[in-house]
Amino acid sequence: MDEYISFEQIPFGSDDFANNPESRCPCLLLVDTSASMSGLPVMQLNEGIRVFKEELTEDPLAVKRVEVAMLSFGPLQLQNDFTTVDNFQVPHLSANGDTPMGTAITMGIDLITKRKETYKAHGVGYYKPWIILITDGTPTDNWQHATQLIKEGEARNAFAFFAIGVEGANMDILSQISVRTPLRLKGLMFREFFMWLSSSMKMVSSKSPGASNTLPSPSGWSEL
C-alpha cells in the first residue's frame, strides 16, 4: 500500500499510553471514496466526520477512551491509524477510483487485531471494537474473503461490524458481507449518522462491567 506520511500530523512525543491509562474503545471507519461519491456525498461525509470528532471531543471521558482509525477506499488509503479523538486529524476526503471494499475490510480487520495487541502490550483494557463500513456502491474486488473474516470475527466476538449503504449501494451484497442487517442512509444524512455514532461510542466507552447494550435508535438517519 502506498502510504504517505505527513510530518505536520505525526503526534511526536511520548506515547499516549504513558499519560492516559484509560481503557480504549476502538472505532474503525471504512469509508468509500470511489468516483461515485463525488460532489455533495463526499462533502457531507467530510462534514459528518468533522461533527463526529467535535461531539466526542466535548465528552471528557470519550475523549480519553474512544480511538478512531480511518481507511478510505477509492484508492485504498490509511487516513488515520488508531489514535484518541483529540489527536484524530479530520481528513479532507476527495472521491475518485473504484471500490476495493474487500481489501479495505481485510486490512481494517488486521488493523483492529494489531491494535488489540498494542493495548495488551501497554496493559490498558479495551472495549469491543466497532467497524463501520460506509459505501455507495458495489465492491470491485474480491469480497468473499472479507465476508469470511467478518463471519469468523463476529462469531468470536472479536468486533462488531456495521454496514451503512448510501444511495446506490448494493444492499444485497452488503447483507451477505455483514452478519448484522445493513442499514440504508436516508439521503445524505451523514451528519445525523455521525451524531448517532458518537453518542453510541460515548455510551459504549463509559460502560462499567455488566452494562447493558441499549444503543440509541438509528431511526434519525436510516431508512427502515
Partner 1 sequence: MMWKAIGKSVTGSLHVQAGKGCEDAIHYSIDNHSAALICFVSDGAGSATQAAIASKLATQTAHDFIVHQLQQHQPVTEPDIYQLAESVFDALQQHAAHSKTSLAEYACTLLGCIIFAEYACFIQVGDGAIVKNTGNDFYAPVWWPHNGEYQNTTFFINENGHPHLKVLVTEEVINEVAIFTDGLQMLTLNYESNTAHHPFFKDMFKWLRIAHHPDQVGSLNQKLEEYLSSATINNLTNDDKTLFLATRLQQSV
* Contact positions vs partner 1 (CB under 8 A): 21, 23, 61, 121-128, 157, 204, 206-212
Closer CB to partner 1, residue 48 or residue 153? 153
- Rounded to a whole number of angstroms, the minimum distance from the CB of residue 49 to partner 1 is 26
Q: d(Cα 37, Cα 49) in Å, to the nearest integer?
A: 15
Q: d(Cα 2, Cα 220) in Å, to the nearest integer?
A: 37
- Rounded to a whole number of angstroms, the minimum distance from the CB of residue 123 to partner 1 is 3
Q: Which of 99, 49, 103, 48 is CA-nearest to residue 74? A: 99
- Rounded to a whole number of angstroms, the minimum distance from the CB of residue 68 to partner 1 is 17
Closer CB to partner 1, residue 127 or residue 193? 127
The strand pairing partners of 131, in sequence order, are: 28, 161
Helices H / strands E in the chain, number of each: 7, 7
Closer CB to partner 1, residue 53 or residue 65? 65
Q: Which of 131, 133, 130, 153 is CA-nearest to residue 204? A: 130
Q: Which residue has the cell 456525498?
A: 41
| Phi–psi pair at 41, nearest 5 degrees | -55, -50
- Rounded to a whole number of angstroms, the minimum distance from the CB of residue 208 to partner 1 is 4
Closer CB to partner 1, residue 10 or residue 211? 211
Task: Report the b/e string of 89-106 with b at 16+ CB within 10 A.
Answer: bbbebebeebbbbbbbbb
Closer CB to partner 1, residue 39 or residue 210? 210
Closer CB to partner 1, residue 151 or residue 207? 207
- Rounded to a whole number of angstroms, the minimum distance from the CB of residue 10 to partner 1 is 25
Contacts of 44 (CB under 8 A, 6+ apart): 188, 190, 191
- Rounded to a whole number of angstroms, the minimum distance from the CB of residue 201 to partner 1 is 13
